[in-house]
């Protein structure tokens, strides 16, 4: 039976997810070895020029309706935890995942968003967006602040070589 793999993003730039696209052929091979059951950037089934498919069968909506309906062998999570929605989604992903991977430095250590001191965050937001802006962010934390993380893939963005090594491990090479 194929492993179920899911990719999620919290508050992030999505640069680490885009690094997967550099791997082209290796990503296509991964698509043959695992079921990618959730990956917003992949969208619906993607047909390649040589008729191989990267599919997101049983794809779930995680932007507006963040209820997860399946379990995952591996969940990769990119981004910094900054909102209550991020916290809730992350905890649900952890509960439904055998292995949770922090993808990129935002997920591993909070990266740039954590550089603003918590007590200064409101002043910084107001200086950028004005007095009437209601920020959803309540702080900035790495994934490990809220859940157990099984593996870290640091980098901003994560290095392609590290992604390839990870894919080889998943594929059992």
The CATH number of the domain holding residue 13 is: 3.40.50.700
Q: What is the pLDDT of residues 119-150, one digit of tens each?
A: 898 899 999 999 999 888 999 999 999 999 99
Domain that holds residue 81: 3-111+141-171
- Rounded to two decimals, the pTM is 0.83
| 118 occurs within a structural domain | no
- Asked if residues 89 and 10 have their Cβ atoms less than 8 Å apart, the reply is yes
Quote the pLDDT of residue 173. Answer: 55
Kindly give the pairing relationship between strand 34-39 and strand 53-54. unpaired
Per the structure, the count of domains in the chain is 1
Q: What is the mean pLDDT of the chain?
A: 84
Q: Establish if 152 belongs to a structural domain.
A: yes
Tell me the C-alpha to C-alpha distance, in Å, between residue 93 and each of 18, 20, 38, 126, 162: 21, 21, 11, 32, 23
**pLDDT beyond 70 at 62:** no
The strand pairing partners of 38, in sequence order, are 6
Q: Is residue 132 part of a domain?
A: no
Q: What pLDDT score was predicted for residue 93?
A: 97
Q: Do 107 and 157 form a contact (C-beta atoms < 8 A)?
A: no
C-alpha 104: how far from chain center:
9
pLDDT digits (tens, 9 = 90+) for 9-47: 999 999 999 998 888 777 777 778 888 888 888 764 443
Q: Is residue 27 part of a domain?
A: yes
């Amino acid at each position: 039976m194929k492993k179920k793999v899911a990719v999620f993003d919290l508050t992030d730039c999505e640069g680490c997810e885009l690094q997967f696209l550099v791997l082209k052929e290796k990503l296509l091979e991964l698509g043959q070895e695992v079921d990618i059951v959730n990956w917003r950037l992949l969208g619906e089934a993607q047909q390649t020029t040589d008729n191989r498919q990267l599919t997101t069968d049983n794809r779930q909506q995680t932007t507006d309706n963040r209820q997860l309906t399946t379990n995952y062998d591996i969940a990769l999570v990119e981004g910094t935890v900054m909102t209550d929605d991020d916290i809730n989604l992350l905890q649900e992903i952890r509960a439904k995942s055998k292995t949770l991977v922090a993808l990129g430095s935002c997920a591993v250590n909070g990266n740039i968003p954590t550089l603003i001191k918590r007590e200064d965050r409101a002043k910084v937001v107001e200086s950028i967006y004005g007095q009437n802006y209601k920020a959803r962010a309540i702080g900035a934390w790495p994934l490990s602040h809220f859940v157990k993380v099984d593996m870290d893939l640091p980098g901003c963005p994560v290095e392609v070589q590290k992604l390839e090594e990870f894919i080889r491990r998943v594929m059992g090479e």
